[in-house]
Structure 1
């Protein structure tokens, strides 16, 4: 399988009916000797209140894989700043900041909002280095007709059991996962068909019907000095990797359906 990398000028325009469930960027740093999460979150909330007027504090949940299966474990707190429509969220924890949306309008709009969040963080806290930057696109297909046409719209490499179901059978559950390394980064491509009220990720709310999920997470785990410009530049690279590969995995039939 060849991983496609491209500049944003090479990536097809955003589809008007794209099945994006969310777009997420997360930037992580090591535990710091001087970082007051409560103060940082309060200051950022004031600075970003025009676009993110709502604020809440949640328990930060960590997913642990144990012999008994995946288990969730509380790991401190995370502050969330949310838009009035609840479709944009900035999350800040002891060692990370994330921007997430379910109302993606394109990369340029997304990166401008990310820069605003990073500027506010940079003015409030001293982050010396970052240890991980990730850009994630999560797509979700629902509806009996669209689920029946997955093999027409996506490459066989991400169909897993969907493409190999025995004649006359009903597929209950299928997960396919691959990790690729390229250009100093990695790309996790995960697809899954799940039942109603099921999800493959505790951070992704399930829906009340059967669905098929295609999740692309491009990330860089190298240690680098933190600057807003350098983070945004790397985010651009990672976005191009993930979105370029998404378009490489889809067919003309997919484009016709979601254009």
Structure 2
């Protein structure tokens, strides 16, 4: 074992960032939630915000919010009561979403911790200048990793820690296989926490209705770190970077050096 593997998901010193040429990130999302604001009544803020962001996010779409419902037929979407504004870049790799209670940014082309946090901070500043939110209820960042290469999924026992592998390491008799195993874990600290999900999913099954499923079995590592309470918009950049760092520490604890090498570790 190389010394770059962590012994705890919450180290005293942040893990050095290792760039991966073929990182299995399929989605990174940051979100700030806020209380109902009088300044947003009437839709003027939505229109002004769209104009303020137009140089970076020229594509706009207004619609109705949706609620995610888990029922007998699985995870489904149903219409919500509020409106939703979505702004996208020309290549549609980045999306900003504004609702009556939240502002989010997501990307399928993650540029790294610093650049991502700075881009969301600029988005928050533009919104704050128009809506003047007194505080945020919650600030979060989510990283969704998915491995869908069947050969790599078969080798998952060498790519993640035994604690993460879980029942996937269980020996099974000939003719039996493990098609689905999922671990959902919540860790907390004063003022925040992280929800970590990982495991193997069967073909055409996904945990997020907004991420297209794949036709093969897959392995996911889904990390959602957050701060809660009355959070100052002015401190959002530092708070988001701290959450991103904690998420990366958890990721580095969960995976082995073989994982890093498999996905193109850069020196």
The answer to whether TM tops 0.5 is: yes
Counting only pairs closer than 5 Å after superposition, residues 1-259 of structure 1 correspond to structure 2 as 2-5=8-11, 10-36=15-41, 38-65=43-70, 72-75=77-80, 76-164=82-170, 166-168=172-174, 169-224=176-231, 226-227=232-233, 229-258=234-263, 259=265
**Partner-residue secondary structure (3-state), 2:48:** helix
Structure 1 residue 209 displacement after superposition: 2.5
Structure 1 residue 55 displacement after superposition: 0.8
Structure 1 contact 56–81 (Cα < 8 Å) conserved: yes
Structure 2 contact 180–199 (Cα < 8 Å) conserved: yes
Structure 1 contact 5–240 (Cα < 8 Å) conserved: no
Structure 1 residue 6 displacement after superposition: 6.2
Give ranges in structure 1 of 5+ residues lacking alignment: none
Over 3 Å counting, the alpha-carbon distance change for 1:113 and 1:37 in structure 2 is farther
Over 3 Å counting, the alpha-carbon distance change for 1:234 and 1:69 in structure 2 is same
Tell me the distance in 1 between the aligned counterparts of 2:42 and 2:256. 45
Superposed CA offset, 1:71-108 (max 9, x none): 53322221110011111011100000001001001011
Structure 1 residue 195 displacement after superposition: 2.4
**Partner-residue secondary structure (3-state), 1:91:** strand
Structure 1 residue 255 displacement after superposition: 1.1
Query: TM-score, normalised to structure 2's length?
Result: 0.88
Tell me the distance in 2 between the aligned counterparts of 1:235 and 1:253. 29
Structure 1 residue 65 displacement after superposition: 4.9
Tell me the distance in 1 between the aligned counterparts of 2:39 and 2:237. 24
Q: Which residue in the other structure is 2:4 paired with? A: none
Tell me the distance in 2 between the aligned counterparts of 1:164 and 1:219. 33
- Which deviates further from its counterpart, 176-185 or 96-105? 176-185
Over 3 Å counting, the alpha-carbon distance change for 1:182 and 1:165 in structure 2 is farther
Query: TM-score, normalised to structure 1's length?
Result: 0.90
Structure 2 contact 141–240 (Cα < 8 Å) conserved: yes
Q: Write out the 4+ residue segments of structure 1 that deviate beyond 3 Å after TM superposition.
A: 5-8, 64-73
Provide the aligned length of Structure 1 versus Structure 2. Answer: 256
